[in-house]
Amino acid sequence: MDLPQGDLLRYGIAAVIVLALIIVGRRVYAWLAGREERDLEAQVKAAIDAGDLRLAGDIQLRRGLLVEASRIYIRAKEHARAGAVLARLGKDAEAADEYEKAEDWAKAAPLFKKTGSTLKAADCYAKLDGRPERLLAAECYTAVKEHLKAGRIYQDLEEFERASECFAKFEDLDSLDVALTMLENAALAKSTDRDKRVEIWRRAADLAVKLGAHDRAARAFDEAGDTKRAATIYEQALKKMDVAAVLYAEAGATSDSERLVQALGGPSAIREARMARARAKGEGALTEDMRAVESGSTVAANTDDNATVVPADRAGRPGKAGAPRLEDRFELLGELGRGGMGIVHRAKDLRLGRFVALKFLPDDVEHGSTLHRLFHREARAAAALTHPGIVTVYDVGELGGREFIAMELVEGKTLDRILDDDGPVPVGEALEIMEGVLVAMEYAHQEKVIHRDLKPANLMRTKTGVKVMDFGLAKVVSARSSSGKTVIGGTPNYMPPEQRTGDADHRSDVFALGATFYELISGVLPGNPGEPANIASSYPTLRQRVPSVPARLSELVMRCLERDRHERPQDVVSVLREVREIRAELAAEPKAPQRAEPKAAPRAEPKPAQRPEPKVEEPKKRAPLPRIAREDEDDSPAGRVDRVAPKAAPASPARSPVSPARSPARSADPAQAGKPNVRKPIPRED
């Protein structure tokens, strides 16, 4: 049906009106929306002008301008917010960097790993406390061949087998010994099943043979069930014929057992070894039966002139009748101390008629092992040093089955004790000590001897100067401690990076001296909490710790602490020259004049009241400071006797008080009295 012309016109007009309304509505909406955007843009500008960059970034984020928001957040150092925005933009590498700056390790680590920055991922994972995260850190370190860091983490988590694999990557003596310790710990772990335990003991035995640790190799073969191989080592390497005879009998090698029993003088010669074996296997009843049955024949056997005598202090190691005895050479006068290297006695050398400090090597250093040979070689090298600044080694040898070192007996106080008792040393006194140590080290380096273990505990201040102790012994004993724990678990705070991989030279001593002098003057170790100087990329300088320290001295100490040895002073001679120049500069400086007390204006009173003399407070004794050391640190250095405190320095009114940038005071635990000075580690951040 056709519509009238009037209706068509009305419909057309209505359509035009609707279209116009739509256009107008859209224009109005756009105007209103633009107004809001203009308002937000004005707010952003106002926030930036006011310095509130965080608010400006929030506004840009609300507007959906992610790129602009991330830039503003970065300017504002709002790294966590910047990281979140960059992650939304898919910029994972940049987001990881921002999360790292914000110390949000949990978010930074997976992004670093995703973008291929495995080392950074490992560093971030290592700073987290959870076991899964720390395992990821170790895996990442292993992937980038940072086996030492990975091994430490596995060790902390008691993943001893994996820790051993990491430490075994290094072919130096210390690392192989630590790897062996990790395998032993893994085999002894309760969670290890029998078959796995046997496999681990076999690996430990092979590594011990490679290391030359015969005693540990014999034990490992025995634990692995290879009793005959263990007996062979006891016979041929350790010369413990009685133990070898017992093990040969257990292994079914009757002829070998009878041969040794005959050589030892009869069955009674292996009685103690058999009982020790029974006790170790938990056969208490057998032990008592053996004691009762063999008691009659023991006396007769011991009267045989040809019988082998086994010293009581070295059970199982045969000794020759008539061999030199300890009491024939030395008279022990009292114990001076105990530490990771053994017991130190005050003694009199009966042959030479002089008093000495007598140190006995721990029994767990196997006779004839690589460690044993290195000990004697390096101890004799130290004995060749004759210098007033070095504690003299008189003799090294073995008496009565015990390894000993006879040293000069020195009265004084070690620098670590000075730090504990009196706190940081004033700059002038520290420079005097530094010069004395450097003079001694200059002589030692000229004689081609490297100390390898310079630290406050090995420097003793005496009435006449300073003495350097324990030369050349650190590399031998640093891989073991009397507690049986691995040394590498603690942080070696005075050790440069290259020494951790067995590549020490004379510049390693320069680093250790830098760390020692830093601690001596500031009272704290160089580095950051949980991150010593040999790892930390940046930390406060000595002058930042103690503002009164001369800038040149601070710069010298920090150069000594460079992680790259090529950036350090290349010898102690150059360090000594600068120390002497700094001392001369300080001596030439005019003394700071006393500041006069302000006087009150004259009054009309006939007799003004007298002002009391200002009370001068005695400087407070600094509480002991927490410091770090390896577990093998010896609390009984050569010649430490009744400690004589160094002469107190005269109070100088120009000297500023101790810098407040100190570590918290060390707790004085009476339970620790008489124990080795094992310092507690700084709480780790990782």
Catalytic residue positions?
453
Angle between helices 271-280 and 241-251 (to 10 degrees): 60
Q: How far is CA 609 from CA 171, 371, 604, 612, 615, in A?
A: 80, 78, 12, 9, 18
Looking at 486-633, which runs of residues are DSSP E strands?
Answer: 527-528, 531-532
Contact yes or no for 245/273 (Cβ under 8 A): yes
How many Å apart are CA 556 and CA 534, to the nearest integer?
A: 17
How many Å apart are CA 271 and CA 377, to the nearest integer?
A: 36
How many Å apart are CA 97 and CA 46, to the nearest integer?
A: 29
Q: Which residue has the tokens 């992004």?
A: 111
Greatest Cα pair distance in the chain: 148
Contact yes or no for 122/141 (Cβ under 8 A): yes
Amino acid in position 185: N
Contact yes or no for 404/359 (Cβ under 8 A): yes
Contact yes or no for 475/374 (Cβ under 8 A): yes
Contact yes or no for 382/452 (Cβ under 8 A): no
How many Å apart are CA 112 and CA 1, to the nearest integer?
A: 76
Question: Exposed e or buried b for every residue in 474-504, given b needs 16+ CB within 10 A?
Answer: bbbbbbbbbeeebbbbbbbbbbbbbbbeeeb
Q: Phi, psi (5° rounding) for residue 460?
A: -115, 130
Secondary structure (3-state) at 21 = helix
Q: Phi, psi (5° rounding) for residue 12?
A: -65, -45
How many Å apart are CA 249 and CA 243, to the nearest integer?
A: 10
Helix (H) or strand (E) holding 413: strand 413-414
Secondary structure (3-state) at 356 = strand
Q: Note the Cα 252 to chain centre separation in Å.
A: 47
CB atoms within 10 A of CB 173: 18
Q: How far is CA 88 from CA 57, 61, 79, 98, 401, in A?
A: 15, 11, 14, 13, 72
Name the DSSP letter for residue 396: E
Residues 6+ away with beta carbon under 8 Å from 95: 82, 83, 84, 86, 87, 111
Q: Which residue has the tokens 């690589």?
A: 370
Looking at 590-684, which runs of residues are DSSP E strands?
Answer: none
How many Å apart are CA 218 and CA 236, to the nearest integer?
A: 11
Q: Note the Cα 264 to chain centre separation in Å.
A: 47
Of the candidates 240, 239, 234, the residue with the CA atom closest to the CA atom of residue 221: 234
Name the DSSP letter for residue 604: S
In terms of C-beta density within 10 A (0-12 exposed, 13-18 middle, 19 or more buried), how is residue 246 classed?
A: buried
Residues 6+ away with beta carbon under 8 Å from 502: 170, 171, 172, 173, 174, 175
DSSP bridge pairs for 408: 356
How many Å apart are CA 167 and CA 42, to the nearest integer?
A: 61
Taken as a whole, the chain contains a residue count of: 686
Contact yes or no for 182/211 (Cβ under 8 A): no
